[in-house]
Amino acid sequence: MKIYWEASELEKLIVHGGNPLNGTVRVSGAKNAVLPIIVASMLGVGKSTLTEIPELADVHTVSEVIKSLGVAVESPEKGTLVLDGTNITSTVAPYDLVRRMRASFLVMGPLLARKRHAKISLPGGCSIGARPIDLHLKAFEAMGAVIDLADGDIEASVPDGLKGARIYLDFPSVGATENILMAASLAEGKTVLENAAEEPEIVDLATYLNSMGANIRGAGTNTIRIEGVKELRGAAHAVIPDRIEAGTFMVGAAMTQGNVYVENALSEHLKPLIAKLKEVGARVEEDIDGIRVIGTRPLKAVEIKTLPYPGFPTDMQAQFMALATICEGNSIVTETVFENRFMHVEEFKRMGAKIRIEGRSAFIEGVQHLAGGRVNATDLRAGAALVLAGLVAEGRTEIGSLHHIDRGYDDLVAKLQRLGADIVRVRVEDEE
């Protein structure tokens, strides 16, 4: 697997706007499902075979994290990982890997379950918010863990083993729900998790854990019941399609007046996005193999508000804002999940967008045309949103800080090129 982030600081995307996206694109496996699922393989004795693995920097990072803890990791072919968690040899997650990817913190649950001890660096804040992990820690404490915070490390131990508990999450955190599912699967007794996250990625993790021998009921609702079992065994699992990658192409089709069939997109995971695209005026046709989006004009202004699933996903907020910048009239985008997920606004403004932020809302006055410019991906989805803006902007757009985009989009440039976009990835020095 390629190591992206070393090169990506030296690279940029160059987009010439104006081409409509046309054709078929296949969605890869979901980043936010594959990361916890790779981590969950640590719970199993014997080999797990995971398929529909997207080629992403985050997949590489999480694989390195579990490897450093003793999991045997092989990739016999593109898109497949074979993982064997039989011998967990370390309970200390290296700082260098944890700082690269917040989802590394998900190893806490499996380590406590398997080894009764874990030491992990406190994952830092990032450009979308402070992102504390208090809900994860409170839950582990309820399950009997003793937690110590020193020198930026979190050390947790559970000398008598994890015990099932009744846990109410103050907020339906995706990561906390996943960490608890993994810990509770091997805990003694029953765990009832209330106000749990309901995201499809939670359901996918629970499906994998159940095929390893776990006893989890209710994943996908706000109450999940887990009866702990003595042992989990490796299992085979195919990761669900990435609803955010799908959504990004769907918005791209609407923005460029294109006609794109997003193969492998699951419409039941994309209801709020489909509803909002229809409100904007795009034609959306759903079938069992995918979703077609046909962009029409005029694009009408919308209001969106991000919420935990099944609400509008925060991970589609930036891309939808890109669309709102060229809608007729005034749109409002309200972000309720993360406290600071508007870094892309300044970048859009460099391209001629008219946006004003007040508190947690962005007020967008649609413009006829965006103008190409030099912009930076401030986080993963901001990066994707800037690519979309570049596809409709007049002239040339240059997008830097590609390591963010590489975390979460499998083969983005080639997929867009196949749909007709004028986009290339160049090394900075080659181009200058």
**Pick from 15, 176, 323, 345: which binds ligand UD1 (CB under 6 A)?**
176
Q: Which residue, 166 or 369, is less far from ligand UD1 as judged by CB?
A: 166
The binding site for ligand PEP (CB under 6 A) comprises 31-32, 102-103, 128, 315, 380-381, 408
* Contacting ligand UD1 within 294-323 (CB under 6 A): 314-315
Residue 136 is a binding residue for ligand UD1 (CB under 6 A): yes
Residue 15 pairs in a beta bridge with: 397, 423
The item of ligand PEP, ligand UD1, none sharing an interface with residue 132, based on CB under 5 to 8 Å by kind, is: ligand UD1
Q: Which residue is nearest to ligand PEP (CB)?
A: 315
In sequence order, which residues have a C-beta less than 8 Å from that of residue 406 and are 6 or more positions away? 4, 5, 8, 56, 57
Task: Give the interface segment with ligand UD1, choosing from 170-178, 245-253, 255-263, 344-352 (CB under 6 A).
Answer: 170-178
Q: What is the DSSP string of 107-139?
A: GHHHHHHHHSEEEEEPP--BTTB----HHHHHH
Whether omega for the bond prior to residue 298 falls within 30 degrees of 0, making it cis, is yes
**Pick from 124, 146, 168, 171: which binds ligand UD1 (CB under 6 A)?**
171
Count CB-CB contacts under 10 A for residue 214: 25
| 191: amino acid identity, one letter | T
The CB-of-148 to ligand PEP minimum distance in angstroms stands at 25
Whether omega for the bond prior to residue 310 falls within 30 degrees of 0, making it cis, is yes
CA dist., res. 209 & res. 117, Å (int):
21
330-334 and 303-305: which strand pairing? parallel
Q: Which three-class secondary structure string do you get for 343-368?
A: CHHHHHHHCCCEEEEECCEEEEECCC
In sequence order, which residues have a C-beta less than 8 Å from that of residue 407 and are 6 or more positions away? 31, 56, 57, 58, 101, 380
The item of ligand UD1, ligand PEP, none sharing an interface with residue 173, based on CB under 5 to 8 Å by kind, is: ligand UD1
Q: Is 241 annotated as a binding residue?
A: no
The item of ligand UD1, ligand PEP, none sharing an interface with residue 318, based on CB under 5 to 8 Å by kind, is: none
Q: Which residue, 11 or 58, is less far from ligand UD1 as judged by CB?
A: 58
Residue 129 is a binding residue for ligand UD1 (CB under 6 A): yes
**Pick from 6, 9, 134, 148: which binds ligand UD1 (CB under 6 A)?**
134
* Contacting ligand UD1 within 26-45 (CB under 6 A): 32, 35
Nearest to 101 by CA among 64, 149, 70, 52: 64
Q: Which residue, 234 or 308, is less far from ligand UD1 as judged by CB?
A: 308
Of 126, 192, 238, 294, which is the active-site residue? Answer: 126
Residue 420 is a binding residue for ligand UD1 (CB under 6 A): no
Task: Give the interface segment with ligand UD1, choosing from 41-49, 92-100, 167-175, 297-305 (CB under 6 A).
Answer: 167-175
Q: Which residue, 33 or 83, is less far from ligand PEP as judged by CB?
A: 33
Q: Residue 87 corresponds to which tokens in the numbers above?
A: 């011998």
Q: Is residue 126 annotated as a catalytic residue, yes or no?
A: yes
CA dist., res. 108 & res. 285, Å (int):
42
The conformational region for residue 308 under phi > 0 = left, psi -120 to 50 = alpha, else beta, is: beta
Q: Is residue 426 within 8 Å of 14, Cβ to Cβ?
A: yes
Give the helix/strand (H/E) hosting 60.
helix 57-68
Task: Write out the binding residues.
Answer: 31-32, 102, 131-135, 315, 337
Task: Write out the binding residues for UDP-N-acetyl-alpha-D-glucosamine.
Answer: 102, 131-135, 315, 337
Give the catalytic positions in this structure.
126
Task: Write out the binding residues for phosphoenolpyruvate.
Answer: 31-32
Which positions lie near ligand UD1, rule CB under 6 A? 32, 35, 102-103, 129, 131-136, 171, 173-176, 197, 201, 314-315, 337-338
